[in-house]
Amino acid sequence: MTLVTPLREAVSPYINSGGLPGSERTAVGFVQAMRDWIAVERWFCDGLVYADAVENLRQANKDSLPTVLEICRAHAQLKSTAGLVMKMIEVIGKGIGNPNAYEDSIVGGAQSIHNAVPILSEIGSMGGSSTYRAVALQARRLLLQESLPSIMKRKAEVINVVQSMAARQISSDSAQCVVQDEILLSDIVLPILAELTSEQERAAILELYAKKCYRNENVSNLCFHSDSNILKIDFTGKKDTNLLRSSVPISSTIDLKRMVSSGSLSQLSEVSDAESVSEMLPVSAMRGAAFAILESVEDIELGGSELFEKILSVFPEFTGESGKNYSGATNNLYIFVLHNQSDSDMDRLASQLEKTISHYRDQLTAAELRRVTFIIPTETLLEDNVIAHSAPAKFTFRDQLDFKEDTLFRHIDPTHAYHLELSRLVKNFSVKGLNSIQSRAGNIQLYEATPRATALAKDRKANKMPKLYVRALSFVDTVTLSSFENTLVESMNTLDLNGAGNAEDNHFFINIISDSRVVLEPTDVEQAVMTVIKRHSDRLKRLGIAEVETRLECCLSEGSPPIAIRLVANNPTGFVHVLNTYVEAVDDSETKKVFRLVGGTKANLACSGDSSWEGMDVTSPYPLTRPFDAQRRAAAKSSDTLYCYDLPALFEAAVELQWNESAKNDLSGSGLSRPLMVTYTTELIVQKKSGDSSSWTMQDYLDGNLKMVETSRRAGSNDVGMVAWIMTLKTTEYPQVRFTIPLTLVRNRF
User: What pLDDT, in 10s, does the model give residues 143-153?
Assistant: 766 655 566 67
The secondary structure of residue 623, as a DSSP letter, is P
- Which amino acid appears at position 360 of this protein? Y
**Phi and psi angles of residue 369, each rounded to the nearest 5 degrees, phi first:** -80, 130
Give me the helix-helix angle, 23-41 and 78-96, nearest 10°.
140
Residue-wise pLDDT for 597-635, tens only, equals 887 666 777 777 777 888 888 889 998 887 777 777 777
User: CA–CA separation, 464 vs 281, rounded Å?
Assistant: 38
Asked if the model's pLDDT at residue 73 lies above 90, the reply is yes
Question: What confidence score (pLDDT) does residue 528 get?
Answer: 85
**Contact between 209 and 183 (Cβ < 8 Å):** no
250: left (phi over 0), alpha (psi -120 to 50) or beta: beta
Residue-wise pLDDT for 152-190, tens only, equals 677 788 888 888 888 876 666 656 666 665 567 777 888
Q: What is the mean pLDDT of residues 517-530?
A: 79
- Of the ranges 365-369, 388-392, 526-530, which is most confident? 365-369
The structural domains of the chain, with segments of one domain joined by +, span 13-147, 246-273+421-627, 644-746
Q: Which residue has the higher pLDDT, 256 or 701?
A: 701
What confidence tier does 275 reach under pLDDT thresholds 50, 70, 90? very low
Q: What is the mean pLDDT of residues 460-473?
A: 88
216-230, 319-333, 445-459: least confidently modelled range: 319-333
Q: What is the mean pLDDT of residues 240-266?
A: 57
In sequence order, what DSSP letters do the residues of 167-227 get, joined into one string? TTSS-TGGGHHHHHSS---TTTHHHHHHH--SHHHHHHHHHHHHHHHTTTEEEEEEEEETT
Question: What confidence score (pLDDT) does residue 277 get?
Answer: 35
How many CA atoms lie less than 13 Å away from 706 in the CB half-sphere?
A: 15
What confidence tier does 469 reach under pLDDT thresholds 50, 70, 90? very high
- Dihedral angle sign, alpha carbons of residues 319, 321, 323, 328: negative
Residue-wise pLDDT for 638-653, tens only, equals 777 788 888 888 888 8
Parallel, antiparallel, or unpaired for β 679-688 and 545-554? unpaired
Give me the helix-helix angle, 130-147 and 78-96, nearest 10°.
10
User: CA–CA separation, 110 vs 21, rounded Å?
Assistant: 9
Asked if the model's pLDDT at residue 385 lies above 50, the reply is no
Question: What confidence score (pLDDT) does residue 276 get?
Answer: 40
The secondary structure of residue 571, as a DSSP letter, is -
Percent of the chain with pLDDT over 90: 11
Q: Which residue has the higher pLDDT, 559 or 549?
A: 549
Question: What confidence score (pLDDT) does residue 246 get?
Answer: 54
Asked if the model's pLDDT at residue 271 lies above 60, the reply is no
Question: What confidence score (pLDDT) does residue 260 get?
Answer: 60
In this structure, the chain runs to a length of 750
Q: What is the mean pLDDT of residues 120-136?
A: 84
Report the Cα 457 to chain-centroid distance in Å: 31
Q: Mean pLDDT for the chain?
A: 79
Question: What confidence score (pLDDT) does residue 619 get?
Answer: 87
- Which amino acid appears at position 422 of this protein? L
Question: What confidence score (pLDDT) does residue 388 get?
Answer: 42
User: CA–CA separation, 67 vs 294, rounded Å?
Assistant: 67
Report the Cα 492 to chain-centroid distance in Å: 8
Question: What confidence score (pLDDT) does residue 341 get?
Answer: 66
Parallel, antiparallel, or unpaired for β 243-245 and 578-586? parallel
What confidence tier does 232 reach under pLDDT thresholds 50, 70, 90? very high
Q: Which helix (H) or strand (E) holds 687?
A: strand 679-688
Q: Which residue has the higher pLDDT, 669 or 67?
A: 67
Q: Which residue has the higher pLDDT, 61 or 248?
A: 61
11-15, 214-218, 249-253, 585-589: least confidently modelled range: 249-253
Residue-wise pLDDT for 700-744, tens only, equals 888 888 888 888 777 877 877 788 888 888 888 877 755 566 666
User: CA–CA separation, 61 vs 73, rounded Å?
Assistant: 15
Question: What confidence score (pLDDT) does residue 242 get?
Answer: 57
Q: Which residue has the higher pLDDT, 375 or 14?
A: 375
Domain 644-746 has CATH 3.90.226.10: yes
Asked if the model's pLDDT at residue 92 lies above 90, the reply is no
